Structure 1
Amino acid sequence: MSIRVVVADDQELVRSGFTMILDAQPDIEVVAEASDGAEAVTAVRRHAPDVLLLDIRMPHMDGIEAARRVCEQSSCRVVMLTTFDLDEYVYEALYAGASGFLLKDVRRDDLVHAVRVVAAGDSLLAPSVTRRLVADITRRRPKSPEPPALSSLTARETETLRHLARGLTNAEIAATLHVSEHTVKTHVSNVLSKLHLRDRVQAVICAYESGLVAPG
C-alpha cells in the first residue's frame, strides 16, 4: 500500500515541488494539496492520509492550530515545514502533536525519508531543530518535582526513556541494555502508553521537562 500524503503550503510553487518529489516515489501518493491551515484540516478529514506535510506560516489558520486539530481528530502524522528555524515554532509544533519538523531547504532524499519514517510511526527532527528543542525545553522547564506519571514506569522502561531522550535508535538501545530489539520496542510502547504520549518526540520532551535527562 502507498503512503497517502496531503501537502499544505500557501506558496503554490513550494506545494507543487513537494508534490512532484513525493509522487515520483513508488510507495508514496499525494492525495490532496491545501493552501492554508483550514484547507489542510478539511483535506485530512476527507482523504484520511497517513502523513500531512504542513507549513507553519499560512493564512486563515496557521500550521500550529491546523496540526493541533489534525492530531486531536485523526491518526494522521504531521511533519511541519518552515523556512524559519525558530525556537517557539519548534516547541509549539511538537506540543501540538507534530511528529517531524523540517526546514524547507531539506534535500529531496531527506524529505522522502521523513515521510516514510513518520508514516511508519516514528519521529524525525532536523539536527539543528533537535539542538534548539533541547535547549528550549531546558530553559522553559519548571523547577518542580518529577511528574507522578514517571513513577508508573519500571526501572527498565525508565532506562529506555533516558536512552530515547539521548537520541539512540532501538538497535543502539538494545545493544546498550543487552536485550533484543523486540524487547526495546515493547519498552518504548509501554513508555508511550503509560505516559500518554503520541510518539518518541513527545517522549524526548517529557524526559527533559521532568529532569530525567539533562543536556550533555
Structure 2
Amino acid sequence: MIFITIAEDHIALSDGLKVFLEQDTDIEVLGTAQNGKDMLELLEYLKPQVVLTDINMPDMNGVELCKAIKSKYDIKVIALSMFDNSGAINEMVQAGADGYILKISPLTELKKAIVEVVAGNNYYDSAIDMNLINENSEQQPEKKLSRSETDILKLIAQGKTSAEIAKERQTAVSTVAKHRKNMIHKLSLAGKNELYKYALQRYSHYSN
C-alpha cells in the first residue's frame, strides 16, 4: 500500500485527485491540506510515503513546503503544477522534489510518477524536456543576484510596487529601487519594464 497526502488549495481538484488515486487499491490518500503550512502540521501525525503538492499556494508555497519536508522527513515529494517553465521546475528540483507532473497531463502519468518515486527513482512529466531544463539551470543568470535581489524579483513577479515591496520587507523604498537598478544591470536588461517581464518569465508561479 502506498500512502499519500495532497497539498492543493483548490478543494475540487484535491477531492478529484483523491477519488482517482483511490480507484487503485494499492493507494490510499491519508489527508489533504490547502497550503504548505497546514500540510506540515498534518505530517506531524500522518506518515505518508509521498506528498503531492501544488506550487502556488497561500501561506507556504510548494517550493518552501518541499524544502521543509526534505529537511525533516524521509518522504518523497511530487510537484503537481500548471507551470512548465524552467524557473518553476528548477526551483522544485533544487528544493529536493522527486518528481514533477503537469496538471494538464493524463492522471495516469501521475500514477507512474508515484510508483517510480516510491521505488527510489525520480520521475518528470514526459512533456518536459529535462535536457533543456538542466541546461537552463546551469546557465541561470539569477546566480549573479544576491538573495535579497532574488526575493525582490519574486515579489516583482507578483506585480508589487516598490512601495509595497519595501513595506513587506520592512525596508526603505530607496533600497528597493537600488536593488531594482542593480538587477537591471546584472541581467543586462533595458529597464524596469524588461525587469518585470523577466520576473514573470522566471517566477510566474509566484504571481497571484
TM exceeds 0.5?
Answer: yes
Determine the structure 2 residue equivalent to 1:126. 125
1:57-93 Cα distance to aligned partner (Å, 9 max, x none): 0000011000000011000100001111121111111
Change (3 A) 1:125 1:16: same
Separation in structure 2 between the aligned mates of residue 47 and residue 115 of structure 1, nearest angstrom: 18
Match of 1:140 in 2: 140
Residue 135 (structure 1) shift: 2.6
Equivalent pair of 2:109/2:125 in contact (CA under 8 Å): no
- Which residues in structure 2 correspond to 1:16-27 (within 5 Å)? 16-27=15-26
Q: Secondary structure at the match of 1:25?
A: coil
Instruction: Using structure 2 for the length normalisation, give the TM-score.
Output: 0.64
Alignment partner of 1:53: what SS? Answer: strand
Partner of 1:56: 55
Aligned-residue offset at 1:138: 3.2
**TM-aligned CA distance change 1:129 to 1:62, over 3 Å:** farther
Tell me how far apart the structure 2 counterparts of residues 52 and 31 of structure 1 sit (CA, whole Å): 10
Q: CA deviation at 1:132?
A: 3.7
C-alpha separation between the residues in 2 aligned to 1:23 and 1:132?
34
Q: Percent identity, please.
A: 26
CA distance in 1, matches of 2:17, 2:54: 11
Q: How far did 1:23 drift?
A: 1.0
Question: Contact 1:90 / 1:129 at 8 angstroms: preserved in 2?
Answer: no
Q: Deviations over 1:22-50 (max 9, x none)?
A: 11111110000011011111222221100
Please give the alpha-carbon distance, in whole angstroms, between the structure 2 residues aligned to 1:63 and 1:132. Answer: 22
Q: Give 1:106 deviation, angstroms.
A: 2.0
In the other structure, the counterpart of 1:67 is 66
- 1:46 aligns to what SS in structure 2? coil
Residue segments in structure 2 that go unaligned for 5+ positions in a row: 144-208
**1:97 aligned to 2:103?**
no
Distance 2:129 2:9 in 1: 22
Give ranges in structure 1 of 5+ residues lacking alignment: 143-216
Alignment: residue pair count: 141
| Counterparts of 2:125 and 2:109, CA distance in 1 | 10
Match of 2:7 in 1: 8
CA contact (8 A) 1:31 1:47 kept: yes
CA distance in 1, matches of 2:109, 2:43: 23
Aligned to 1:81: 80
**What is the RMSD computed on CA atoms of the aligned residues?**
1.6
